[in-house]
Structures are given as structure tokens and as C-alpha cells.
Structure 1
């Protein structure tokens, strides 16, 4: 899915729907009632095409061309990385209602995993981060049930052969914090990868927290809070 306004032109009902937060049906009603003008001319055709150069107004209010949204969220445990779920709370519940439209989760964290999560309306940007070709490092703080040996760290840095995978993982970056805690940076996003890597080495992850993706970090962002990415952070990807 491409980002909503990546094209040079869109239908008028699509534009009005997104700028006013309406359904396409309600947007069409406004248009057919003559409440929308394009370049100071009332336009009653929902399929009329508008571009960034057009001035679109609802009555006398100028409708600004929407920008894509880019958020970083400090995900608490217990939330599912989805837009909706019938059994559990989802991460979109932590985002203000008026900001939720068209937001998508960039990658996933398990329900019990905490930490940095990116959300955006920009499908192309999302793909650049999640693509296997991106080599985008993600840093996790990992707590294990047993001591993390020097040999285990060497193996993580070389690559670990996971069950049901043809190739070992790409080399990881590892910093020992305590005997049971490490900072682990990986450039892949295989299913349950961190937990599977430690399991393959005979250990068990008891707690997992993502601290950063590339140079985007949580900083002092409290659990359950989110913020907009800066233009420089968006440009990293």
C-alpha cells in the first residue's frame, strides 16, 4: 500500500475525506451539496482531480494537503502490534484518535516485548525499513534466564543457525551488561528472532526491550507515550 498522498493527483472526494476526517460517502455529500470549491470555483463532481497546486476550500476554510505521519512509540507489555484485535488491546489505542487514520505499524514486537515501535502512514518508508535488503540495525536489551557465556556472545557475533532456517543469522553486535543481560543489535527481522537466537544457544529470554532502530532511540519517552519523528529521523530511512 502506498502512502495516501504520494501521487501527484487524487480524486476530490478522497482529498476531502482525508483532510476533514470523513468517510468517502460523507465527503461526496459535501461535494454534491456545493460546499467544496477548487480554485474558488464550486465543484460538485466527486471524481474531480486535484493536485498540490489546487486551492481546495470547504466553504471559506482552506483545506491543507495532508502530510504523512511518522511516530515513535514506547510500547508497553500487553499490547498487540496491530490496528485491531478482538481479544487484546492494540498499540493504536495508545495514539490519539484523530491521529490514527491510515497509521500502520512498522514491523512488530511480541505482545510481551516492550520498547521502540515506529508507526507511519507512509507505505514506501515502511517498506524501506522492513525490507530484508535494508540492513537496518535494531538494538534490544535482552535479559536471559541463565548466564550468557563468552562462547554464546561469540556465536551471536558470528551468526546463529535457527531451527527451520536454511542460513544462519547475520552477524550481530553484542555488548555485555551483566552476566544475564546483553545489548543485542541485529539487522534482520525474522519471526521471534532474538528469542530463537538465544534458544538455539541453550538459553531463554525472560524479558526483551527494543531501545533503538538505526539512530532513532526512545530517549526519555515514557512507557505508553509517543512523539513525532523529526525530519532528520525520517530522512534516516
Structure 2
């Protein structure tokens, strides 16, 4: 973890105040003066501020049901950030330290994971870890067995050198499917169906890895220890 982030998670200082105390030579790491905000510190390091030992707050892991017309960003843009939903009842402190582990489009609803543990996020989003995601997809045209087969073999997306990894379709009805992916390219679900002549009308993520969505739209809960650890398989 960067030194400036470590101090922010160990104190009530804001970002600018953290920079000031580092540059003012008030921080020691293992009894060595450090003035580089990007210096990497680890859990077993001894970090002090003017002689006071610092200890970071515990990491947090949340599940949220993202509603439509919100974005997976830490700041509001044209649409509001989904993280605003954590602030409604002042239930969560230090929301600015949190981030979303993987994104959904503004009009896509469903499961997002929120944390302040960067290493945990990396484990989820690293392509080689093949973390599965399940989407409920409503389509403009009837799904065919040929499309099911093509998805399992890989789809050539425009602008991509390689085929997508095998994706698996479970047909619910003629225009509704459950789609399982193990990668997360930009707008991938919509681009895959577009590549086979269909169009996504509605998109909803139901599951990431072993974690299933079980709260109403706009609501959230903390992950259980079992759910948190499931991403270290």
C-alpha cells in the first residue's frame, strides 16, 4: 500500500494533510524517515507519525444492488455515483476510501462489489484468475442454438485481435438468457450479441464468483468472511 494511503486509513487526515505531514518529515517507516508519498508499506511495517504508531482501519467488503442510471465511479459525472447510496443514512464512514471492484454500464443493473482493499480487487479483476460473472440478458431477437454454440467457441469482437474466451448461455426463453463470462472487456456483453446480429435490451448482473445478489435495488450489505475468502481460491 502507498504510504499516503496507509496514513489516510490510519488517521482522520485528509489527502492534502497527509501530503503535508509526509513532506514535513514527520513519518518514519521502520525507524527510517520517508518523504515519498508513493513509498510502499506493508502490514508488518512499523509506521509512526511524530512517534505515534499508526494502525490502519480494517478493510471493508460490501455487496450492492446497483440501480440503473448510476455509474461505477467515485465521483458524480452526468449520472450520480452508485457510492452515494452508501451515504444516505450515514452508515458508512470514509466512503472516499472505497472503490468498486469491476464496473457496470450506467444502464446495467445488478451486483457490484465495493471495497478499500486493492489487493482483493486485483484478485477479482485479474483476467488470468477467470472469475466468473453471470448476467441475465434480455434480447431484441430470438436466441438460436447457433448463437449458443458461437458464444461457447468464442466471438470475434470489432477491434479485438483474439476471440473472446468461451462464454456459456442458458436459455430461459426465446429472448432471455443467463450468460456466464470469465473476462470483462469494455461493453463485452453488448458487443458480443451485436457481433451475432442481436441487441441487448436489458442487462442485469446476478452473480460474481460464488457471491449471489440477494438485496433489493439500491440496497447493500457487508460480505460474509466466507464470501470474501471465496475470491482467493
TM bracket, shorter-chain basis: 0.7 to 0.9
Match of 1:100 in 2: 95
Conserved 8 A contact 1:52-1:65: no
**Deviation string, structure 1 residues 36-72 (Cα, Å, up to 9, x no partner):** xxxxxxxxx8424588798x9xxxxxx9741111111
Quote how far apart the aligned CAs of 1:161 are.
Answer: 1.1
> For the pair shown, which has the larger CA radius of gyration, 1 or 2?
1
Matches within 5 A, 1:105-144: 105-144=100-139
Runs of 4+ in structure 1 off by over 4 angstroms are 24-29, 48-54
Give unpaired runs (5+ residues) of structure 2: 31-42, 49-53
Deviates more, 1:157-166 or 1:191-200: 157-166
Give the number of aligned pairs: 210
Query: CA–CA distance in 2 between the matches of 1:111 and 1:218?
Result: 18
Quote how far apart the aligned CAs of 1:196 are.
Answer: 0.6
Residue 101 of structure 1 aligns to a residue whose secondary structure is helix
Residue 68 of structure 1 aligns to a residue whose secondary structure is coil
Matches within 5 A, 1:1-237: 2=1, 15=7, 17-23=8-14, 46-49=26-29, 65-96=56-87, 98-219=93-214, 221-237=215-231
Conserved 8 A contact 1:81-1:90: yes
Deviates more, 1:78-87 or 1:202-211: 78-87
Query: In angstroms, what is the RMSD of aligned CA positions?
Result: 2.9
Match of 1:38 in 2: none
Quote how far apart the aligned CAs of 1:101 are.
Answer: 3.1
Conserved 8 A contact 2:6-2:56: no
- TM-score, L = length of structure 1: 0.78
- 28 and 83 in structure 1: CA distance in 2 versus 1, 3 angstrom threshold: closer
Conserved 8 A contact 1:14-1:24: no
Quote how far apart the aligned CAs of 1:184 are.
Answer: 0.2
Give unpaired runs (5+ residues) of structure 1: 5-9, 30-44, 57-62
Match of 1:42 in 2: none
